[in-house]
Chain A
């Protein structure tokens, strides 16, 4: 029997080929084989022949939404400047979190809805590379055979069978929306919303610690950071033309490897994604040091859900939580002035 991902690969090739052939799209953004068996690479197909190289498997960890604006820009310069609506289109394959990410980018006017054609694929979860390497005790992986529930890793001259779910990333394990929420066409079967008993259990575990223990955890977690900024570069949400880490006057974050600067970088990076992050896990997947920085954005996601009942990227209409307000928003941590605590409402500005 052909596995789900193989079937998706076939259909993806056929559909991308058809769209490119008909001229409906000028380019298709997907994945092709990379130089390592467990690292397929993002790939732009421009002809139906290119589309034959597309693949889909459990190792497509990088959020393709990151490449859409750049690709559109490239197409504009090739095809002559179209306008924001009728210019050449990009087709892109998108899972649940990627499609929501595309919604955020459209909301933030990175590109228009008209210029993307989204082919939705229900995600079965992507593999955590660190788990993959520890499954073969760090031996070199020379080949991978993937079935629906078993992944066979070729290492040290033999095939090692591993249950697929054991290798899946944390964010995919707690994902409630594996199906694309925003798409033009759908390939493969949807899985429906998954109910996760405790989607924020990792965050809650840390919340239950004392401030000292939490600081200890945070320092421990980021101590290995080499500030390569891979997490920032891979994130579709980090697109400021000058990032705060590159500012020099004022210099928000120092350039040297200093514990405080590293802490500030991680705090601000996460905070800038507040209300926008769809938990695609790309930041964590690309980190060469294995830092679990996704927990930071997960915490923000949890608070936004609790306080403002907000989940990012579900539709184009709901405004982003930090770019809007309600009169009756909770005043939780904002301390009332002392006089009010005595039951006396002080007079307002201007008496």
Chain B
């Protein structure tokens, strides 16, 4: 059972990365040996356009302290326009979640290409530090019975 309030707490961040750009960017960061915090849990998705509000909220519900979605730069989408649809959805969702009281730095979006290994490591560090500054995420996290094994 993870401890959410004690010292030594490390943020847990779920990163939805598009299979064509940002996931490959993460790969390049690894191959190039750029250092970034181990707080990122990567979920590979076919396209940033695949990521909907349910997926993001489900991550928070399951105990993520931050969520990061990253896809191809506008104009570079493997499916031509998936990230452009996603952009509208994300902008609207982020503003909306902030409206109901989610802290602005919990949710991050970025465009990272397959050649931006260093950019990936920097962004991963930035996201981690911003989430760390906020502490554990209590809002939207569904607390389970302490006897129950948490899936994390």
Contact residues of A with B, CB < 8 Å? 203, 206-207, 211-219, 244, 250, 252, 254, 258, 260-261, 263-264, 266-268, 270-272, 274, 296, 299-300, 303-304, 307-308, 321-327, 329-339, 346-351
Contacts and interface: CB of A to CB of B under 8 A. Distances in A.
A207 B91 contact: no
The 4 residue pairs across chains A and B that have the minimum distance between CB atoms = A215-B101, A325-B84, A214-B101, A260-B142
Interface string B98-127: 111111100011111111101100110010
Given A211-B101, A299-B99, A325-B84, A268 B91 contact: no
A307 B96 CA distance: 13
A150 B42 CA distance: 62
Nearest to A218: B100
Interface of B: 20-21, 53-54, 57-58, 61, 72-76, 81, 84-85, 87-104, 108-116, 118-119, 122-123, 126, 139-143
| Most central of B21, B93, B103, B139 by chain A CB within 10 Å | B139
Given A264-B140, A308-B88, A349-B20, 6 more contacts: A214-B101, A252-B54, A268-B54, A271-B96, A329-B88, A339-B116
Contact of B21 (A258, A325, A349): A349
Given A215-B100, A325-B85, A337 B122 contact: yes
A338 B95 contact: no
26 contacts: A211-B98, A214-B100, A217-B101, A219-B101, A261-B142, A263-B100, A268-B57, A270-B96, A271-B92, A307-B92, A322-B88, A325-B87, A327-B75, A329-B91, A331-B87, A331-B91, A334-B111, A335-B108, A338-B119, A339-B116, A339-B122, A346-B116, A348-B113, A349-B114, A350-B114, A351-B115
| Most central of B75, B96, B97, B141 by chain A CB within 10 Å | B96
B76 A337 contact: no
A113 B138 CA distance: 48
A349 B140 contact: no
Interface of chain A, main secondary structure: helix
A337 B91 contact: no
A267 B114 contact: no
B111 A337 contact: yes
Nearest to B118: A339
B9 to A, nearest CB: 20
Nearest to B119: A337
A93 B112 CA distance: 51
Contacts of B113: 346-349
A333 B95 contact: yes
Nearest to B58: A252
| Most central of A266, A267, A326, A337 by chain B CB within 10 Å | A337
B15 to A, nearest CB: 14
Contact of A211 (B57, B76, B103): B103
A300 B101 contact: no
A261 B104 CA distance: 21
Contact of A347 (B91, B100, B115): B115
A322 B58 contact: no
B91 A333 contact: yes
Contacts of B109: 333-335
B76 A348 contact: yes
Contact of B119 (A218, A252, A263, A339): A339
Nearest to B72: A349
A327 B76 CA distance: 12
Contacts of B21: 349
A338 B123 contact: yes
A317 B143 CA distance: 46
A218 B111 CA distance: 31
B87 A329 contact: yes
A225 to B, nearest CB: 14
A335 B110 CA distance: 5
Nearest to A274: B92
Given A250-B58, A335-B110, A327 B139 contact: no
A215 B139 contact: yes
B114 A303 contact: no
A334 B86 CA distance: 11
Nearest to A251: B58
Given A307-B91, A339-B119, A349-B114, A252 B101 contact: no
